[in-house]
Every structure is written in structure tokens, then in C-alpha cells.
Structure 1
Amino acid sequence: MNTIELENYTIAFQEQAYIELNLLINTKAYSSIYILVDSNTQENCSKFLSEKMEANVRIEWIEIEPGEEFKTIATCSEIWKTLSETGADRKSLLINLGGGIVTDIGGFVASSFKRGIDFVHIPTTLLGMVDAAIGGKNGVNLDSLKNQIGIIRPPQMVVVDVGYLSTLPSKEMRSGLAEMLKHGLIANEEYLDNFKDLSQFQVDKLPELIRDSIQIKTKIAEEDPFENGLRMALNFGHTLGHAIESYQMESPSKTKLLHGEAVAIGMILALKLSVDILQFSEEKCDAASQLISQYFKPVTFTSEDVSKVKTYLKHDKKNTGGTINFVLLEKIGQPKLNCKVSDDQINKAFAYYKGLD
């Protein structure tokens, strides 16, 4: 597959990606290379990357714990200390080999260490490939609040190799599919149609679908790199999705949800809100909600749960002046930003979600 050339970085695929990675390493003449992994990617992916890299400089591996609960400033602090203590300088390169948590943390660490060193993302999850590693967003959580601390700064390049996906459990694969479904809903109904019949879904089409999904996201992100307008459309399903993810993470009695699992719920809620507020087609709402439900098991929310989820909405990054702003749909492929939603409308959306069981 052809490399995607963007204004500030490139996204390369399969074997060609390693050719370009090695060219970057040798052209830039880095003083040292650091590779950030979590314990899962250290075990399953590090050997493969080592075999593909050609570098004549010192290589150091930094391993962190896996999981959203470690996506914190404390983790960053440990990485910064390791970089400093082992002699990293402004000509060092940080390669982030892992899922969205590793690339988010690694990008933020690199962007702030010595006021910024180069970094490369090698996402190993579907979510990382189509979302987290694309677009230049890097950052960490503040307690259970998602992505409150961070910076927008692009990597030197992104390496996309679908071979890494063979190491993933099915739950992680579905998490990435949520973002691909979102791309179809906000940008391209024809792309969305690829996922309509689960029984006919062809795995060999996945590399092409991943590239198409990346192109949808990069087109939006390149037009609005700092999220001043159009890029907010990528937050469809994320306002309530992030709130649900944070609530489930912070509640000891609740099952933690992967990012894509929470966003899938958020998208169904946003579809129903789109019907009530923007007269989005009820038929399209039902069809899209059923499509999402094919991939994701239902989660039960009591009225008390819903009330608590709503308290997290005030922390959403799209909010301005204390007003909670939603991204909704007028039509598939036609998102509308900064929509105001009432408490009662949110309750009705949860009732609609419950009725899909």
C-alpha cells in the first residue's frame, strides 16, 4: 500500500514502512534510540521490531505497565527519569511500540522531554492504527478523567503493520472497530456499508479498510490540526462515551470498559440525540444502532448510573463557558458541532439504548 504523505509526517504501511523507518533513522543520525513498550508489546512485538530495525546507535527499551490506570503523569515522570538517567539528549529518538495508551504517553513524553525530541509511533492495536496514533494528539489522564493533560504534536512517522494485530484478543479488535464505524458515520456512508453484514466481513479486506479509515481521519485532522472547528467532528460519540468510560473506571463495582466499548455506547446515544435534536432519520438511527450492537455487548445502566455518568460531562474538552457541547448528525456524513442537549434528552437516549437489548 502506498505511503500517505502529510504536511508534517508520513504514514507508511507493511514492509515499506520499515524501509522508511530505517531511512529516517540513518538520515537523521540520532544519537540514541529508545523504544517504549508495555509488558504485552514487550512480550509479543519487540522481537519482530528488533529484526526489522537497522540502527548503528545505542538502543534502550523502556517498559511500562499496561492499562488505562497507568496513563498518568506519574508514568510519564518515570519515563522522563529513565531518559535522563540513561543519557538521552535532544538528538535521541523515542519509538512508541504499543496500543493507544503507549502512543499517547510516548508522544507526550517525547514532546516535553528537553522541550521536544523526535518520536515515531508503531501502533500494535486496531484502535491505535485508526485513531490514537493518527493526528498528533498526545497526552494522559487526570485521575479518571480522559486526556485532560496533553499536547498536539505530530510524530516523524507512523508505521502501520497489520501483522501486529494477530497478537490481539477479539475484545481489543472490536475496540478499534468502534472508531472505524465512527469514521463511516461522520464522513462516508459507503465506507460504513463495509461493516453492515458481520457474517460476510472479510478479514483480508482489513488492511484496505484500515487505510481508508486513516485517510478519513487524516483529511479532517489536516484541515483543522488544533481542533478549532471541523476536527471536533471526530468526537462523535465521545462526549458520553468518555463520561461512561471514566465512570466505569472509577466505580469499584463496575466492569471497566475499553475505549471503543464506551465510544460504541456513546455513538448509539448520540444517534438518538441526533433524532431528537436535529431530526436525523429514525430509520438510519435504528439501522446504525443495530449495526454497532452487532459488535458490542450491551451494558446495563440504572437511573443512578445515568445520573453519575452525567456528572462527568462537565470535564469534556469540547465544553466552553461551562456549556456542554455535543457532536451530532444531521445526516450520515454530515456532523453538526456544538449542539446543546438537555438533561431529559440524555435520559431518553439512555432509555433508547436500554431498549436495544
Structure 2
Amino acid sequence: MDSITANNGIIHFNKTGYPAINQHIKQHNFSKIFILVDSNTHECCLPYFLSNLEHANNIEVIEIEAGEIHKTIDTCVGVWNSLSELDGDRKSLLINIGGGVVTDLGGFVASTFKRGIAYINIPTSLLAMVDASVGGKTGVDLGTLKNQIGVISTPDMVLIDTKFLDTLPPEQMRSGLAEMLKHGLISNETYWNKFTNFSELTLKDLDALIYESVLIKKAVVDADPFENGLRKTLNFGHTLGHAIESYFLSNTHKTDLLHGEAIAIGMVLALYISEKLVGFPQQKTQSIKTLLRKYYGKVEFEDSDYKPILELLKYDKKNSHGNINFVLLEDIGKTKIDCLVEESLIIEAFQFYLE
């Protein structure tokens, strides 16, 4: 697969990426190379990556705890301190090897340490490959509120190597699939239809779908790098999905949801709202709900859950002037941004989801 130029960086795929990284390191003569991993990727991914690196001397490995709960400013402080103690300077390179938590947090750390050092992202989860790999969004959560602190900053390079997917459990694969399904819904029906029999796809098929998903997101980001309009469409399903994810993270009586699991719920809710407000076809709402239920099952909600979830909507990053702005669909591939939705209709959508 051909490499993709995105923003000011470049995305390489599979084996073609390692010669590019080696050449990049050789050309830039970095004073020091740091590798950020979490406790999972340190064990499962780092040895394979290092085996493909020609310049493995003068490397320091920094490990953080795995999981969304550790995507915090406190974790950043720990990494900043490690970089300082290990003599990091403005000519250092940070290589982030992990899922979205590592690449988001590592990108933010690199963008702010010494007012900015070079970094490379190596996404190891399906979610990070199709989402965090493009667009330059970095940052951390504020408590349980998703991605409230961060900057837009482009890595020098991204390497998407699907060999890393061999290390992922099925639930993490499903989590990443949700973002690919979203890309289909906001872009075109042809891409969406490729997922109707996902279980029958081969690894070669998956490689091609990941590549196409990256191209879809790249086209949106190139047209609107700072999310003034079109880029908001990438948040389809995320307004309620992020609120649900945050609510389940903060509620000890609930089982935490992975990002993609929460977004799958958010997409069903957004489709029902789209049907009622902007005329999304009812038959498609039902068929998409059926497909998402097949992949993700059903999460139970109580009446008492709705108010705190609705309260969390006010922290959504698309909001402005006190309005909660939704992304809706008039049809597959036909989006409408900055839509206002009554709370009663949102609760109706939850009831539709539970049916």
C-alpha cells in the first residue's frame, strides 16, 4: 500500500514504514530517542518494533499504566519528569507505541515538552490506526471528561503495521471497528456495505478497509484541519457516545465501556434522532441498529441514568454559545452539523435503543 501524506507528516503501512523510520532517525541525528509504551505494549509490541530498528542504541523506554483511566495530566507530569531526568532536550525524539491513550497522551507530551519536540506514532490498536493516526489531535481527559485538554499537533510520521493487531483481544478489535463503521456512515454507502459480513473478511480485506478508513478521515481533516465545519462530522455518534463513556467510567455500579462500545450506542441514538429531525430513512435506521446490535450486543440503561448522561453533554467539545450541537445524518454519506436536539427526543432515542 502506498504511503499517505497527511498534514505535514506521512503515514506508512506495514513493512514499508520501518526503512522510513530508520532513514528519518539517521537524517535528523536526534540527541536522544525515547519510546513511550504502556504496560501492555511494552511486553507485546516493543520487542518486535525494536527488532526492526537499526539505531537501537541511546534509547530510553518510558512506561505508563494501560487504560483510559490513566489518560490524565498526572500521567503527563510523570512522563515530562522522566524526559527531564533522562536529559531530554529540544532535539529529542519521542516514539509512541500503543493505542489511542498512548498516542494521544504521547503526542501531547511531545508537543509541550520544551515547547515541542519531534514525535512519531506507532498505533497498535485498530481504533488508534483508523482514528488517532490522522488529524493531529492530542490530549488527555479531565477527570472522566473525554479529551478536554490538548492541542492539534502533527507527528513527523505514523506507522500503521497490522501485525500488531495479532496482540489485540476481540473486544478491542470491535472497539476499533466502531470508528470504521462511523466512517462508512458519514462518507458513503459503498464503504458501509463492506461491513455487513465483517466476520467473513480476510486479513487482506481488513488491511484494505483500514487504508480506506484512513483516506476517508484524511480527506475530512485536510478540508477542515481545525474543526470549524466539516471535521465536526467525524464526531457522529460521539456527542452522546462520549457522555455515556464518561458516565460509565465515573459510576462504580456500571461496567466500564470501551470507546467503540460507547460510540456504537451513540450512533444508534444519533440515527434515531436523525430520522425524527432530518429525515434519515427509517428502514436504514432499523437495519443499522440490527447490525450494531449483532456486533456489540445491548447495554442496559435505567431511567435514573438519563439525567446524569444529559448533564455530561454540556462538556462536549462541539458546543458553542451554550448550545449542545449534534451531528446528524440525512442519509448515509449526507451529514448535517450543529443540530439542536430536545432532551425529550434524546430520551426517546434511548428507549428506541433498548427495544
Secondary structure class of the residue paired with 1:151: coil
* Structure 1 vs Structure 2 CA RMSD: 0.9
1:254 corresponds in structure 2 to 254
Secondary structure class of the residue paired with 2:150: strand
Please state how far the C-alpha of 1:199 moved relative to its aligned partner.
4.5
2:93 corresponds in structure 1 to 93
Runs of 4+ in 1 over 4 A off after TM superposition: none
Counterpart of 2:79 in structure 1: which amino acid?
I
| 1:336 is aligned to 2:336 | yes
1:195 corresponds in structure 2 to 195
Counterpart mapping for 1:258-277 below 5 A: 258-277=258-277
| 1:218 is aligned to 2:218 | yes
What 5-or-longer segments of structure 2 have no aligned partner? none
Q: Distance in 2 between matches of 1:93 and 1:188?
A: 38
Contact 1:138 1:153 in 2 (8 A): yes
Q: Distance in 1 between matches of 2:132 and 2:70?
A: 16
Contact 2:37 2:63 in 1 (8 A): yes
Contact 1:174 1:260 in 2 (8 A): yes
Contact 1:329 1:335 in 2 (8 A): yes
2:204 corresponds in structure 1 to 204
| 1:172 is aligned to 2:158 | no
| 1:35 is aligned to 2:35 | yes
Q: Deviations over 1:93-152 (max 9, x none)?
A: 000000000000000000000000000000000000000222100000000000000000
Please state how far the C-alpha of 1:306 moved relative to its aligned partner.
1.5
Secondary structure class of the residue paired with 1:137: coil
Identity fraction in percent: 52
1:116 corresponds in structure 2 to 116
2:104 corresponds in structure 1 to 104
Q: Distance in 1 between matches of 2:65 and 2:254?
A: 22
Counterpart of 2:122 in structure 1: which amino acid?
I
Please state how far the C-alpha of 1:6 moved relative to its aligned partner.
2.5
Please state how far the C-alpha of 1:5 moved relative to its aligned partner.
1.6
Please state how far the C-alpha of 1:198 moved relative to its aligned partner.
3.8
Counterpart mapping for 1:316-355 below 5 A: 316-355=316-355
Contact 1:12 1:160 in 2 (8 A): yes
1:52 corresponds in structure 2 to 52
Q: Distance in 2 between matches of 1:66 and 1:214?
A: 25
Contact 2:50 2:56 in 1 (8 A): no
Aligned length: 355
If the length of structure 2 is used for normalisation, what is the TM-score?
A: 0.99
Decide whether aligned partners of structure 1 residues 162 and 56 sit closer, same or farther in structure 2, where only a CA change above 3 A counts.
closer
Please state how far the C-alpha of 1:312 moved relative to its aligned partner.
0.4
Q: Deviations over 1:56-85 (max 9, x none)?
A: 651000000001110000000000000001
What 5-or-longer segments of structure 1 have no aligned partner? none
If the length of structure 1 is used for normalisation, what is the TM-score?
A: 0.98
